Amino acid sequence: MTSTEPIRVVVWGENRHEQVNPVVRGIYPDGMHNTIADGIADLLGGEVTVSTRVLDEPEHGMTEETLAATDVLLWWGHTAHEEVSDEVVDRIQRHVLEGMGIIVLHSGHHSKIFRRLMGTTCSLRWRNDGDSELVWTIAPRHPITEGVPQPIVIPGQEMYGEFFDIPEPDELVFISSFSGGEVFRSGVTYRRGYGRVFYFSPGDEVYPVYHHPDVQRVIANGVQWARPERARESYLVTPMYLTGEFDRPVLTSPDGLVDYYTREPITPREP
Amino acid sequence: MTSTEPIRVVVWGENRHEQVNPVVRGIYPDGMHNTIADGIADLLGGEVTVSTRVLDEPEHGMTEETLAATDVLLWWGHTAHEEVSDEVVDRIQRHVLEGMGIIVLHSGHHSKIFRRLMGTTCSLRWRNDGDSELVWTIAPRHPITEGVPQPIVIPGQEMYGEFFDIPEPDELVFISSFSGGEVFRSGVTYRRGYGRVFYFSPGDEVYPVYHHPDVQRVIANGVQWARPERARESYLVTPMYLTGEFDRPVLTSPDGLVDYYTREPITPREP
Amino acid sequence: MTSTEPIRVVVWGENRHEQVNPVVRGIYPDGMHNTIADGIADLLGGEVTVSTRVLDEPEHGMTEETLAATDVLLWWGHTAHEEVSDEVVDRIQRHVLEGMGIIVLHSGHHSKIFRRLMGTTCSLRWRNDGDSELVWTIAPRHPITEGVPQPIVIPGQEMYGEFFDIPEPDELVFISSFSGGEVFRSGVTYRRGYGRVFYFSPGDEVYPVYHHPDVQRVIANGVQWARPERARESYLVTPMYLTGEFDRPVLTSPDGLVDYYTREPITPREP
Amino acid sequence: MTSTEPIRVVVWGENRHEQVNPVVRGIYPDGMHNTIADGIADLLGGEVTVSTRVLDEPEHGMTEETLAATDVLLWWGHTAHEEVSDEVVDRIQRHVLEGMGIIVLHSGHHSKIFRRLMGTTCSLRWRNDGDSELVWTIAPRHPITEGVPQPIVIPGQEMYGEFFDIPEPDELVFISSFSGGEVFRSGVTYRRGYGRVFYFSPGDEVYPVYHHPDVQRVIANGVQWARPERARESYLVTPMYLTGEFDRPVLTSPDGLVDYYTREPITPREP
């Protein structure tokens, strides 16, 4: 059932903190997106091809061509969500609905694309004060949790706490606690259209979280989980079906009924 | 726990078919929105106050003032979804997330506000050929199903069929079958933010569906279910909390930490 | 929609620790069940009638007569789960499926009735070492969370931690963190048949948890939430229905088809 | 992530109708279990090893040894559910909770093992009158739906209709309509403990449903989906963990704390 073609992974990074904050640059000298990409490539090897895109590329690197050739997109943004154009957000959403997997990381909870897919504010409580985070597995046989300890221990992290304003997840995979006492649904999955969505919260820019082997393992597992299992497919957008003709979508047109795919006129079949 | 104040209900109607299609005008001489509103008022009496708004009013009748005074909004649109301004959609979404209930009817599945709340295309298969529809209760103790027969029999209706491109519902309340053999998740609920969402599919404009007593009963039940149980509340949008101060949201500002509500400077409490 | 009859509440207590452990007797001189019952009566007043039953009564106090007159049953057990007879467990399960609400408290996670309703081991990790527990609201407009602070602070409690072996909850209401770092899904709801199930984990016998006003509030809210909204109803157990006769259940018998209720012979209707 | 070892499949058949009903024997001369097994073997080839067991074997063929060597168990029973011993049901349940997949077919909805895993009556409405059944895919990218048409057309089948008394499914995969107008959640999945559960309703004994290629495809897909992705694992049954020792389960014993696995005494680690 599973394809043997490599999973085409694209890691999108905002790549702004790295330019202005020496702490972040010290931790991620090649940019966070490259560290995330390297972690995936190291763990999954020939099972994937991994590339990166950043905000400041034309169309933010998210061209139709790139997205059409992407199986799983990872998204890390924080300070510049509003700079992402609505047209690009529309395009990414369409690809997710048609089957592309997407993994949204940490502060990406507030990105336009995540809020678009969720329909909510995706707001949360926070504190950036070096809390330690424990990431507990709630779904012990979920593929995303394979090979990670119970719990994952992250020595320093930004606190993200409840209430996290998201729709009820399809699957709750991880819950984190912080040394300050807060809790957070730190790993949640959704289906949207034909695509799979995984949000995973560890990963503030001022801590070396994406160098953490267990975090890398979760992300690599997420890539395997989010990959589309079938070919990308455009939606049948509200097609009409004649009675008893379950397999022939049609459209109404000024010239009468036409075939959904060919736009040629059709006639009802004999019963 | 339940307020004894009347539920403030607003029925929004597109009110276009009624102007141009004599069949629709024959069934709904006062407009579909008024028939829907009358059904609610008849069944719930003093428990509600009901008014209507239509697309062609200024701001489509969905002013801030109106929405702030609405507990449950009903939405019927079909042919003019794209005429609804994005600004009004933003406003309605915000009110839902802050606690206003919303009931989306029939072809409203393709409205901007429903797609916004769902994050998907909300596409489906259809045929308008007088199928009979049977609406089966799947959640027999859900308040929305109280007092309706198993199944509700609707002699003539537009067929809506699966695949219906929506997120996994929080609750699946009704499934319909059609005489042509299709099935449809015809009653589904969601929470979005602090607000409740109910989608109910019966109700094409060329059939007298909103005169059907069982359909009226479902809609009235939906109004009771969707009403907010607490006061409308603006979100705490990503507030910060100091360690151990779970009850005092703060914001960062150029002048240091300020109180979330008063914007006055604050100092950390003694531990 | 909501009945104005008082909610008939029965608190079931194992009542064994109180007999042998002076610490427990010191905290709960009248038994835990009475403290729980008093908390409900104090908060809900005339909205409820509350009584108690204990393990050592005949049939553990869970007679057919008692259960038939119970709207919401609360269950606290710990050391003597195996002493509860299977016959009584069958009976309680039947009443839940027919509409009685049930609230299972703390160590009741391992009771026969909870495991019966869940189908899993309901196992968890634990430590009884005076951890403080923070109970975070995840579902901020759920009726069970009304009037409780974010978070509820319980100074001393037994730690219950994940993985908690339960089915995916219908609603995740609370998540707790403990001072030792563990997390737990401490408030979860399910529907089973026509009945509502609420599991709430705070409440070890050696801490005064059921004297805590916020815990009492949650339990009182749970009683309101779990009450049946319609009359108790015996199931239609695999009734047969003739084609087109959706409203007349029948049974096969040696004498042919009989009415499900009267057991009188029936004849198919004219189409 | 996926093992390349063959999936060890066992098809359990009640094998009673075949002995007494010539119609059934005509359709399934080797027994229904063998037809089901052959369908799986034909479609999955070297990916599986398939064997069968029947009710009348010692321990109903469900010995500890057999279950320990089973990755996915299929269960078809109808007339003799009560003859299955409770001890065997306990054993199967334990294996499911430890990771074995289980696929329950058709009238198996009323089997002891399915009711045990669900916690409900699993009752439904029915009519055995040759209805045609259309099985509609609701989850179009779920692995279980791969390669099946929309809808699957089954010319003759027993009608199973709602209300179907099951817990809210984790995933609703298929909904069926019947020519008499009823609907049914005909494909539903659950996790119970570490194991996956798939219920699929087509398959009455007096119709050749298990010869239907699309039904065979669904069952083969179900086998692939339900296989455990990790080694079978006994539960940690309420282990204790000392503060900060998240990875060392212990037990209390008359001699003090002992290691969960070795039962050797342990001493707390230095902090």
Domain count of the fold of chain A: 2
Residues B210 and B252 in one domain: no
For D183, the closest of B168, B171, B183 (CB atoms) is B183
Query: What beta strand segments (E) does chain B contain?
Result: 7-13, 48-54, 72-76, 101-105, 125-137, 152-161, 171-178, 183-192, 195-200, 250-253, 256-259
Pairing of strands A183-192, A195-200: antiparallel
In a domain, B90, yes or no: yes
Mean pLDDT of B22-51: 98
Alpha helices in chain D (DSSP H): 17-20, 22-27, 32-44, 64-68, 86-97, 112-118, 213-226
| Residues of chain D above pLDDT 90, percent | 92
Give residues with Cβ within 8 angstroms of D121, minimum separation 6: C97, C193, C235, C237, D115, D165
* pLDDT averaged over every residue in chain C: 96
Asked if D238's CB is within 8 angstroms of C123's CB, the reply is: yes
Helix axes C32-44, C213-226, angle to 10 degrees: 70
Q: Give CA–CA dist D149/B233, Å, rounded.
A: 47
Going by pLDDT thresholds of 50, 70 and 90, the confidence category of residue B3 is: low
Partner A, chain D 125-144, Cβ-Cβ below 8 Å: 134, 139-141, 143
Decide if A2 is inside a domain.
no
CATH of the domain at C214: 3.40.50.880
Please tell me if residue D4 touches chain A, with a CB cutoff of 8 Å. no
- The verdict on B135 and B180 lying in the same domain is yes
Task: Indicate the residue type of B116.
Answer: R
- The answer as to whether B38 is a domain residue is yes
- Residue A159 bridge partners (DSSP): A127
- CB contacts under 8 A, D 210-269 vs A, are 221, 224, 228-230, 246-247
Q: Do A163 and C137 touch (CB under 8 A)?
A: yes
Give the C-alpha separation, C211 to C75, whole Å.
Answer: 17
**Is residue B231 domain-resident?**
no
Q: What average pLDDT does the structure give for chain B?
A: 96
| Residue B34 located in a structural domain | yes
Q: What is the pLDDT of residues D204-261, one digit of tens each?
A: 999 999 999 999 999 999 999 999 999 988 877 889 999 999 999 999 888 899 999 9
DSSP code string of D163-221: PP--PPPSEEEEEEEETTS-EEEEEEEEEETTEEEEEE----TTTTGGG-HHHHHHHHH
User: What is the rounded distance in angstroms from the CA atom of residue C189 to the CA atom of residue B148?
Assistant: 25
Q: Cβ of C149 under 8 Å from any chain B Cβ?
A: yes
What DSSP state is assigned to residue D60?
Answer: G
Q: Which amino acid is at B249?
A: P
Taking 90 as the threshold, does the pLDDT of residue C2 lie above it? no
Residues of chain A with pLDDT under 70: 1-3, 271
Q: Which of residues 161-200 of A touch C (CB under 8 A)?
A: 161-163, 168, 171-172, 175-179, 181-183, 185
For chain C, list the contacting chains (3+ Cβ pairs, <8 Å).
A, B, D
What would the mean pLDDT of C86-96 be, rounded to a whole number? 98
Nearest Cα residue to C150 out of D78, A181, B8: A181
Asked whether residue D32 carries a pLDDT value surpassing 80, the answer given is yes
| DSSP 8-state code for residue D139 | S
Query: DSSP of A106-124, one letter per residue?
Result: GGGGGSHHHHHHH-S----
d(CA B82, CA B85): 7
Q: Rounded to an integer, what distance in angstroms lies between the CA atom of residue C54 and that of residue C251? A: 40
D136 and B172 in contact by Cβ < 8 A?
Answer: no
State mean pLDDT over C80-88.
Answer: 98
Over pLDDT 90: what percentage of chain B? 92
Q: What is the pTM of this model?
A: 0.97
Q: Out of D149, D229, D247, whose CB is closest to A141?
A: D229
| A220's tokens | 């690599």
Instruction: Establish if D2 belongs to a structural domain.
Output: no
Helices D32-44 and D213-226 cross at an angle (nearest 10°) of 70
The span from the CA of C6 to the CA of C184, in Å, is 33
* Cβ proximity of A198 and A164 under 8 Å: no
Q: What is the mean pLDDT of residues D138-165?
A: 97
Nearest CA to A165 out of B247, B116, B98, B120 is that of B98
Q: Are residues D68 and D24 in the same domain?
A: yes
- Phi first, then psi, for residue A34 (nearest 5°) are -75, -35
Is the same domain home to C157 and C242? no
| pLDDT number for residue C1 | 42
Chains A and C form CB pairs within 8 A to the count of 56
DSSP-derived 3-state class of residue C149: coil
pLDDT on residue C208: 97
**Residues 31-90, chain C: which have Cβ within 8 Å of B?**
none
- Judged by DSSP in three states, D110 sits in helix
Give the CA dihedral D8, D168, C123, C207, nearest 10 degrees. 170
Same domain, C69 and C157: yes
Same-domain pairing of D260 and D216: no
User: Do B247 and B222 belong together in one domain?
Assistant: no
Burial of D94 (0-12, 13-18, 19+ CB in 10 A): middle
Q: What is the pLDDT of residues C163-184, one digit of tens each?
A: 999 999 999 999 999 999 999 9
Nearest to D133 by CA among D32, D207, D218: D207
Q: Is residue B2 part of a domain?
A: no
* Percentage of residues of chain C with pLDDT beyond 90: 92
Same domain as D177, residue D134: yes
C-alpha to C-alpha distance for D104 and D202, rounded to whole angstroms = 11
Look at residue D235 in the predicted model and tell me its pLDDT. 76
pLDDT band at residue B132 under the 50/70/90 scheme: very high
Kind of pairing, strands C256-259 and C250-253?
antiparallel
Residues 6 or more apart whose CB falls under 8 angstroms from that of D136 comprise B161, B162, B182, B183, D150, D151, D174, D175, D176, D177
Contacts of B149 in chain C (CB under 8 A): 246-247
pLDDT of residue B1: 42
- Residue C117's nearest CA partner among C100, C93, C98 is C93
Is the bond preceding A163 in cis, omega lying within 30 degrees of 0? yes
| Pairing outcome for strands B250-253 and B195-200 | unpaired
Six-digit token string for D161? 């209709």
Extract the runs of DSSP E, i.e. beta strands, from A41-150: 48-54, 72-76, 101-105, 125-137
Q: Which residues contact B241 (CB under 8 A, 6 or more apart)?
A: A125, A126, A127, A161, A182, B248, B249, B250
Q: What distance in Å separates the CA atoms of residue D178 and residue D134, rounded to the nearest whole number?
A: 6
- For C219, the token pair is 């339990």
CB neighbours of C245 closer than 8 A, spacing ≥ 6? C268, C269
Q: Is residue A160 within 8 Å of A201, Cβ to Cβ?
A: yes
Beta bridge partners of A13: A54, A76
- pLDDT at res. A169: 98
Which of C140, C221, C229 shows the shortest C-beta gap to B141? C229
By the 10 Å C-beta count (0-12 exposed, 13-18 middle, 19+ buried), A271 is classed as: exposed
Q: How many CB atoms lie within 10 A of CB C184?
A: 28
DSSP code of residue C35: H
D41: its two tokens: 């073997």
Q: What is the pLDDT of residues B208-245, one digit of tens each?
A: 999 999 999 999 999 999 999 999 888 778 899 999 99
* Cβ contacts of A139 on chain D, cutoff 8 Å: 191
Provide the number of CB pairs (under 8 Å) joining chain A to chain B: 106
Contact between B67 and B44 (Cβ < 8 Å): no
**By C-alpha distance, which of C48, C67, C228 is closest to B146?**
C228
Q: What is the pLDDT of residue A1?
A: 42
Of the candidates B229, B219, B205, the one whose C-alpha atom is nearest the C-alpha of residue B40 is B219
Residue D261 lies in domain: 238-271
Asked if A140 and A57 sit in the same domain, the reply is yes
Length of chain C: 271
Whether B121 and B191 share a structural domain: yes
**Inside any domain, residue D232:** no
Interface touch D175/B176, C-beta < 8 Å: no
- 3-class SS of residue C87: helix
Mean pLDDT of chain D: 95
Q: Are residues B216 and B247 in the same domain?
A: no
Q: Using CA atoms, how far apart are residues D87 and D84, in angstroms rounded to an integer?
A: 9
Strand-strand pairing, B7-13 and B48-54:
parallel
Query: How far is it between the farthest Cα atoms of chain A?
Result: 73
State mean pLDDT over D37-66: 98
| Chain position carrying tokens 């259209």 | A193
Are C211 and C247 in a shared domain?
Answer: no
